[in-house]
Amino acid sequence: MTNPCAEPLSLATLLAYWLGELDDDAGQQAEEHFFGCAHCSENLDELATLAGTIRSAFASGVLTTVISAAFLERMKQRGMKLREYPVSPGGRAYCTITAADDAVIARLKAPLADVARLDVLRLDETGNVNARHVDVPFDAAAGEVLICPSALAVRTMPAYCETMRLVIVDATSERVLGDYVFDHQPG
């Protein structure tokens, strides 16, 4: 345990520093502070460790995450081996994952202009809702929702048919935007 710092760098500052959001002067000030301060360098180290663990957890397929089209490109640039399944509303994809794949991506095509909130329901073969992803992020201009399910979980799945349902939610009602069927076979 180190001595506390009289004026510690806040989490917001450390985050902004780590992600390159500070201007040059502010970034240099943050560096001068943490270089001379055991307490703040430990906090920065903790943040860096957390960031690194999130990164490695995603890369190793532990997490299920909604991603962006630009992020998908970054995954490819990093050499990740991906299987992409673009599906239109009412469509079906025959999908799998092998040991050589790092991730699979469900690309749910949909008209998203003027949509404020979008939920994703995951239904089993009998139509029961297994999960609901509330208020997923999306880029309306891209016209699709990209879901990267946990590769570790998908690899253990038997032959299985899952429906993903996009639902537009507003203050008073819900409206189904489309169903997307994923017919999974083990790799």
Which chain residues interact with another protein by CB under 8 A? 4, 8, 10-12, 14-15, 17-21, 31-32, 34-36, 38, 41, 43-60, 62-71, 74-75, 133-140, 150
CB of 4 closer than 8 Å to CB of 42: no
CB 122 within 8 A of CB 162: yes
Q: Rounded to the nearest whole angstrom, what is the least distance from the CB of residue 58 to another protein in the complex?
A: 5
Rounded to a whole number of angstroms, the minimum distance from the CB of residue 50 to another protein is 7
Q: Which is nearer to another protein, 48 or 161 (CB)?
A: 48
Q: How far is the CB of 124 from another protein (least distance, A)?
A: 19
Nearer to another protein, 92 or 155 (CB): 155
The DSSP secondary-structure symbol of 100 reads: T
Cβ neighbors of 102 (< 8 A, separation 6 or more) are: 59, 61, 75, 80, 81, 82, 151
Nearer to another protein (CB atom), residue 63 or residue 157? 63
CB of 83 to another protein, least distance (A): 19
Which residue number, 70 or 99, has a Cβ lying nearer to another protein? 70
Q: Where are the alpha helices (DSSP H) in 10-137?
A: 11-18, 24-35, 38-59, 69-77
From the list 19, 24, 70, the residue with the least C-alpha distance to 48 is: 19
